Amino acid sequence: MTKQLRLMAVHAHPDDESSKGAATMAKYVSEGVDVLVATCTGGERGSILNPKLQGDTYIEEHIHEVRAKEMAEAREILGVKQEWLGFVDSGLPEGDPLPPLPEGCFALQDVEAAAEPLVRLIRSFRPHVITTYDENGGYPHPDHIMTHKISMVAYEAAGDPERYPGTGEPWTPLKLYYNQGFNRPRTVALHEALLARGLESPYGEWLERWDESDREGRTLTTFVPSAEFFPVRDKALIAHATQIDPEGGWFRVPMEVQQEVWPTEDYELAKSRVPTSIPESDLFAGIRDNDGYE
């Protein structure tokens, strides 16, 4: 029987899978890897960020259904499977002081209890590799931080038969990564490449505001060549029409510049149960050529 590698990407909201690691997933799908996106919430409290759709009464009143339909389109474009974990979007609190989070939302759940559906999904899908967010959530949205927390619990617990009884046969994932696509080296490289070509860069003010104490210290360990799939990534992202303006900042860097200057999607290896050498160019490094996977 031919062995098949399996990748699970854990995300907070519909659209996160298309803005973080989407080209990587499309690349692996093209190579025959089984890829599953676990979406923690339905994005019910997400704002309508596309100015062309703002004020649309139907969308405002049916945002949950609309975002589910957008997710269905994006997963078809990427060629991935996808499951909802069933939690309710916490929203992004704004103001000073910040208002309390809504009762019953994802970020207010007990972490051990909230990890259960993810453990169940890991035991069912049996991924060799899991991707998620770092302890800052990639950015400090409460749902992203909670996604990190349940991912870490589930990674450790899924293979332990004593934990989460009744959620399936234990399965031990071999590696866990943090998405680090929005990293400073990439941003600087694209910024400088745009200026060198006489083009306007959208990153100038961003780099000036960069919280170096927060992000500069991240260790990029894994650079997955995926430039060929950047157009697929963008198509999937545009499918999330309520969240993405096709003429907005996401698309200001010409595709050929992205593909030439920074042709990878980048990760931080956080946990590994197999030996590997850093830097890596493959999330399955240490697994792919080893008979120790099922």
- How many structural domains does the chain have? 1
Tell me: pLDDT of 215 over 60. no
Tell me: pLDDT of 160 over 90. yes
Tell me: pLDDT of 214 over 60. no
Only one residue has tokens 């399965």, namely 171
Cα–Cα distance for residue pair 200/36, rounded to 1 Å: 37
- Which CATH number do you get for residue 78? 3.40.50.10320
**Domain membership flag for residue 294:** no
**Domain membership flag for residue 121:** yes
Question: For 186-205, what is each residue's pLDDT tens digit?
Answer: 999 999 999 999 999 998 88
Least confident of 19-23, 50-54, 89-93, 219-223: 50-54
For the chain, what percent of residues have pLDDT higher than 90?
Answer: 76
**Domain membership flag for residue 209:** no
If pLDDT is split at 50, 70 and 90, which confidence band does 248 have?
Answer: confident
Question: For 58-79, what is each residue's pLDDT tens digit?
Answer: 888 888 999 999 999 999 999 9
Range of the domain at 161: 6-181+220-244+264-272
16 is in an annotated binding site: yes
**Domain membership flag for residue 111:** yes
144 is in an annotated binding site: yes
**Domain membership flag for residue 284:** no
Residue 259 CA from chain centroid, whole number: 20
Cα–Cα distance for residue pair 119/167, rounded to 1 Å: 7
**Domain membership flag for residue 76:** yes
**Domain membership flag for residue 197:** no
**Are 82 and 36 contacting, i.e. CB atoms less than 8 angstroms apart?**
yes
**Domain membership flag for residue 282:** no
